Structure 1
Amino acid sequence: MKKQLIISVGREFGSGGHVIAETLAKRFDLPLYDSNILESIAQERNVDAKTLHRYDEVPRNILFSRRVREYSTSAEENIAQMQFEYLKKKADEGESFVVVGRCSETKLAGTPGLITIFVLGDIPVKTARIMKLHNLTEKEAKNMIEKQDRQRKMYHNYYVKGKWGDSRNYDLSINSSRMGIEKTADFLESYIRERIAESVQEA
C-alpha cells in the first residue's frame, strides 16, 4: 500500500502557483482540489454551485454577518468551513491529493505525508503574466494582483494563526520568477520525491 501524500500549495496571485499545483498533480497522478471542491459540496447539499463559487476564498464580510456561539450568518465563513471539513475528511480517510490554498498547510497539519509549499514571484514578472492572461494594462494588472493577494491574506489570516506567505509556516517557499514555472515544477517534483524516499527509509 502506498504511503499517503498530500501536497499543499499556497500561492501569490500571478506566481503560477496554480499551474504548478496542476503539474504536480499530473506528475504524481493525484487528484487536484481547488475551487472544484465546491462542485462536490453543492451536489452533497443540493445547492447551486455558482452561488458557492461567489464566496470561494473570500474574507468574511464583518458588516453583514455575525457569530452566535459556533454559528455564523456569514456565507463566506460557512463555505470556507465546508471546504476545510471536506479536505480534512479526505485526509483522515488516507487519500492522497494536491490542494491549492484553503489554509491547507495549517488545516491539515499533522496529516501523514503532508508537504507544504508556498509559491511567490517578483512583481514585474507577475504583472507581465497577468497582463497577458487577462489582456490588461500594466496598471490594471498590478491592481488585480494587489487586490487578489490582499483578499487571500485576509481570508487566510482570519481562519488560521500562521500568517499567509510566512516562510516559517511552510516546508518550502519558492520564487517561481527565478527559474520560470516549468522548471520550478521540476525542482518541486525532485524535492517531493526526495521527501518520499526519506519517509520510506524512516519506515
Structure 2
Amino acid sequence: MEKQLIISVGREFGSGGHVIAEDLAGRFNLPLYDYNLLEHIAEEKDVAHEGLKKYDEKPKSKLFSRTVRGHSNSIQEHVAQMQFDYLRQMANEGKSFVVVGRCAEYILKGNPGLVTIFILGDKDCKVKRVMEKYGLSEREAQQMCKKEDWERKYYHNYFCPGQWGDSRNYDLSVNSSRLGLEKTADMLERFIRTKMQL
C-alpha cells in the first residue's frame, strides 16, 4: 500500500471489535497490533514479555503505585508508555497497520493516515457473545463485560483527555449488533476506502 493507513479500533468488551479489526487487517493486508504489541517491543529490546502481559491495557493501581517528581513506579503506566512510544515510532516511520485499543486514536492523533473507529454493541448481544466464547453463565458474562469495560474506560481516561467511547473522539462509532460483524466490517471497509481515497 503506497498511502499510509493506520486503522485504530476501540471497542466495548463483547462487541466483536477485535474480530472486526482482524477482518479489516485482512482486507487491507495490514499487520494487526493488539496484545501482541508487547511481544514486538520485547523482541526489539531483548527482554521477556510474559510477565508484562498481565499489565496490558490495565488501569494504574492507586494502592501500589505512586508518582514522585513526575516519575511513576507503576508497571501498568510503564507498559502503556512503551506501547505508545512503539506506535508513534511506527507511525512516524510511515508504516501502515491496524491497532486495537491502546489509546491509539489519541496517541496517533494528527497523523493524516489515521482512521479512528469505535465498536459498541447491545448489552444482550455482547453478553451472548461472551457466554459462547468463554463458556460462562449469563450472570458471569454480564459481570465480565462490566469489569472489562470498566478497566478499559479507566485505562483510557487516565491517559487521554477525551472520554472512552465518546463518539466525538472517533471518525466513526458503530453498533455491531445492528448489522452483525461481517456486514459491519463491509461498511467500515467502504468508509475507510472513501475517507482515505483508496
State the TM bucket, normalised to the shorter chain: over 0.9
Partner residue, 2:176: 176
Q: Number of residues paired by the alignment?
A: 198
TM norm structure 2: 0.97
Partner residue, 2:58: 58
Per-residue deviation, residues 95-125 of structure 1 (Å, max 9, x unmatched): 0110000000000001121000000000000
Partner Cα separation in structure 1 for residue 171 and residue 143 of structure 2:
30
Partner residue, 2:67: 67
Partner residue, 2:142: 142
**CA apart distance, 1:46:** 3.0
Partner Cα separation in structure 2 for residue 8 and residue 69 of structure 1:
32
Partner residue, 1:133: 133
Partner residue, 1:195: 195
Partner residue, 2:16: 16
Unmatched tracts of structure 1, length 5 or more:
none
Q: 1:38-53 counterparts in 2 under 5 A?
A: 38-53=38-53
Partner residue, 1:35: 35
Partner residue, 1:115: 115
Partner residue, 2:91: 91
Per-residue deviation, residues 22-63 of structure 1 (Å, max 9, x unmatched): 000000001111111100122233332111101000000011
Q: Runs of 4 or more off by more than 3 Å in structure 1? A: none
Partner residue, 1:157: 157
Per-residue deviation, residues 1-37 of structure 1 (Å, max 9, x unmatched): 7111110000000000000000000000011111111
Partner residue, 1:26: 26
Residue 182 of structure 2 aligns with an amino acid whose one-letter code is: E
Residue 176 of structure 1 aligns with an amino acid whose one-letter code is: S
Alignment root-mean-square deviation, CA:
1.1
TM norm structure 1: 0.95
Q: 1:75-86 counterparts in 2 under 5 A?
A: 75-86=75-86
Partner residue, 1:7: 7
Unmatched tracts of structure 2, length 5 or more:
none
Partner Cα separation in structure 1 for residue 35 and residue 148 of structure 2:
15
